[in-house]
Amino acid sequence: MITRKLSSVIFSKRLYYINKVQFKYIQVSVIGAANGIGRNVALLLKQNRFITKLNLYDDDDRVLGMELELRQIPGGPVISSFSGDAFLSPAIRYSHLVLMLTRMPRKLGYTREQMLATNALAVQRICRALAYENPDAFFAISSNPINSIVSFASKLLQNYNAYNKHKIFGITHIDTARTRALLGKTLNINPRHLHVPVIGGHSDETIIPLFSNLLPSHYHIKEHQAEALTRLVRKSGTEVLNLKQGSDSATLAMAWSINEFVEKISEVFYGSYVIVNSFTANPYFGTKFFSGPTKVSECGIFETCSNFVMSEYECHLLSQAVPLINRDIARGEEHVQVIEEGRNL
């Protein structure tokens, strides 16, 4: 269980390592760098002082223009770009962290099964490349539907004898970002001073903000406020999609939250340890995978969330979410057979 006291200790250690950074070669690869989210993530990562080298990969040749443009920004990591199947392996070779970003963004009318079928091929390609080229890398995925894609990728890596449950992450920082932003507005305070664990999965029916665990503890909201905020957090992505008339997903907020994840993870390569919100292998809630605060060191995940003191409403949400998460996980695992049989035809 991640306690409040431990959280404060980790925060202090993070400050120590940030102030005492010594040079170390750290390489990060972004797969899907030319899409809407990828472009914004690349720009944000250009400002990351922990990263030495940033590799950008996409099937779209426009990624080569991105490299030139980012090279014209002074400072930050050295940028390299790669495009085409033949250059996927070089793009991830020697990288400490490989980011897989959305290929087919969420669209109006698309079911999660359709998104899984569309994004699975790209995930399969990167899993095969990782297994052969760089099986020890941290592999972080932000590709819909997270609840199925993470189990799909994990099953593939198992088949390729390259699975390490401590090094695969489904990035769910967007859920904590939205929760903090909405709560800050409700309390009329700076949301960056707030911490709210968000557990469950990453879909409208499985996201569970734990407002009962709000920090700092002198802040409180009423039960009806918690219920209203939970509904708002769950439909945030759909609202953005509707306002963009179905032509684009929440690219800016997603990029910001992915960058927040990478900022934290990049610190572990300097000997620190951090807490990130991610959908990872976690059996403590009756599922194979579960999202929540996750402790990470240079060797990977060393502790996942296990239990929280929750309100009656939050317990109810959890009981509803678990069967849905298990269903989504099973769909991801079952799709491995579908896609592998298709490849062998």
Assigned token pair, 106 = 């969420």
CB atoms within 10 A of CB 11: 13
Does residue 159 contact residue 343 with C-beta atoms inside 8 Å? no
Buried b / exposed e across 158-175, counting CB within 10 Å, b at 16+?
eeeebbbbebbbbbbbbb
Task: Indicate the SS3 state at residue 296.
Answer: strand
Using the structure block, give the residue that is written with the tokens 């779209």. 60
The pTM is what? 0.91
pLDDT at 222 exceeding the cut of 60: yes
**CATH 1.10.10.10 given to domain 22-172:** no
User: Which among 173, 195, 202, 335 is annotated as catalytic?
Assistant: 202
Active site residue 220: no
**In CATH, what number does 173-260+270-324 get?**
3.90.110.10
pLDDT digits (tens, 9 = 90+) for 225-255: 999 999 999 999 888 888 877 666 789 999 9
Residue of higher predicted confidence among 332 and 338:
332
| pLDDT single digits (tens) 188-215 | 999 988 999 999 999 999 999 999 999 9
Write down the pLDDT at residue 18: 45
**Is pLDDT at 274 greater than 90 in this prediction?**
yes
Half-sphere exposure of residue 205: CA atoms within 13 angstroms, side-chain side: 13
Delimit the domains of the chain by residue range. 22-172, 173-260+270-324
Q: For residues 228 and 213, what is the distance between their CA atoms, to the nearest angstrom?
A: 16
% the chain with pLDDT above 70? 89
Give first-to-last CA distance, the chain, whole Å. 47
